[in-house]
A and B are shown apart, each in its own frame.
Chain A
């Protein structure tokens, strides 16, 4: 009986403590809890925006649509395990089945596939960051341009589009991306990535700023040899605005290609 009373009392105290914390938190706007772990100024902080980050040589702001080849060709020499998955994906396709069709089950496509869905991409360029939004499921990436370094991978939560840091080399935007989530994250035909996956992009504008070229240099010593290099090209779209696009839980109810009998999932990843 005494145990029950003590338990009830302790519970009441904990509830009061939580209520006090929550009340104080709301009163203060939970200030501080979402601060960058390293204390870096946010990319939209007025103080950061006013700093001298150098003059940008080109302006990527606009809406862009990929054209031409969307596959990441030419393929690199894959390591044996990755090659087996790649071959299995090709075999499944010939048999009329999807293989590791993770985006079909609402997993994010991740970098670099996020940049090659046949949906427009909006880019918003600020002095401190370039925000890229793919209309395909509202995928977003932030390319920080304010001189920060990559986060400590022991702290950073790996993300499907990774942590992107950019800088200018002449009229080329160079983006270095690391800290990329590996789970159910594939490139091209089911090529997996490891936590050593690293992407460097070289972005330039051509044709009076109406054509954007993004040259991907991808390395992952666990899955392929050397650099996997492929260039994607985009045209400016001036009559496009975005609607929300979500992969909702019931999206696949009427899409037979996503039904179990037409899908093969590899055990890895």
Chain B
């Protein structure tokens, strides 16, 4: 029951944030830049996983078409909440190959709001796919 309540709350926050306009309650900043109506994925290599309050954040290098690599940035929620989703401080190291699921920036910029990470060894951090899409 506790788990269900958590996911209902998480879903409510994810739906409520874009409606909340300029002052989202959970974040220390506005969430207006993100499109919370859809999730997307990208693969890359970890540059930095910053485990901090009020937010953790992740930066990865994503390979481009011409052999170049582009820096993508993803904000995450507070570590206090992330640990309940399976994230840890040392769960990602620079150089790790990962697939990131996220709410994208509305203008398609390189980044978004982090939902889930799958490492190349199969480790999943974040809410299960099925429930997150309810």
CB contact under 8 A between A254 and B30, given known A93-B22, A96-B106: no
> How many of chain B's residues have a CB under 8 angstroms from any CB in A?
38
Look across to chain A and name the residue whose beta carbon is closest to the beta carbon of B106: A96
Residues of B within 8 Å of A262, CB to CB, are 32-33, 105
Interface residue A197 (Cβ < 8 Å from any Cβ of B) = no
- CB pair A136–B57 under 8 Å, yes or no, is no
Our pick among B28, B33, B34, B35 for the contact of A136 (Cβ within 8 Å) is B28
B52: contacting residue among A70, A248, A261, CB under 8 A = A248
| Contact count A vs B, C-beta below 8 Å | 121
Asked whether A257 lies within 8 Å of B75 as measured between CB atoms, the reply is yes
Q: Which residues of A contact B54 (CB under 8 A)?
A: 119, 136-137, 245, 247, 251
- Chain B nearest CB from A183 CB (Å) reads 17
- Residues in A150-204 with C-beta less than 8 Å from chain B: 186, 188-190
CB contacts (< 8 Å) of A186 on chain B: these are: 23
Contact of B32 among A93, A105, A244 (CB under 8 A): A93
Query: Which residue of B has the minimal Cβ distance to A96?
Result: B106
Most A CB contacts (10 A, CB to CB) among B20, B28, B78 go to: B28
Q: Mark A207-237, 1 if CB is under 8 A from B, else 0.
A: 0000000000000000000000000000000
Which chain A residue shows the least CB distance to B34? Answer: A257
State how many angstroms separate the Cβ of A157 from the closest Cβ of chain B: 24
Query: Does B112 touch A at the CB level, under 8 Å?
Result: yes
Q: A92-B32, A101-B29, A243-B80 are in contact. Are A255 and B107 (CB under 8 A)?
A: no
Complex CA distance for A115 and B53, rounded to whole angstroms:
18
B82 / chain A contacts, CB cutoff of 8 Å: none
The reply to whether A257 and B31 contact each other, CB–CB distance below 8 Å, is yes
CB neighbours (8 Å) of A189 from chain B are: 21-23
- Distance in angstroms from A109 CB to nearest chain B CB is 8
Q: Does B43 contact A (CB under 8 A)?
A: no
Shortest Cβ distance from B18 into A: residue: A93
Whole-angstrom CA separation of A112 from B52 in the bound complex: 25
B10 at interface, CB cutoff 8 A: no
Q: Are A96 and B73 in contact (CB under 8 A)?
A: no
- Judging by beta carbons under 8 Å apart, are A256 and B105 in contact? yes
Given contacts A243-B53, A255-B55, contact A96 B22 (CB under 8 A): no
13 residue pairs of the A-B complex, CB under 8 angstroms, read A96-B106, A97-B33, A99-B32, A101-B22, A101-B23, A113-B23, A186-B23, A243-B80, A247-B28, A251-B52, A253-B59, A257-B33, A262-B32
Using CB atoms and an 8 Å cutoff, list the residues of chain B in contact with chain A. Answer: 13, 20-23, 25-35, 48, 50, 52-55, 57-59, 73-75, 78, 80, 105-107, 109-113
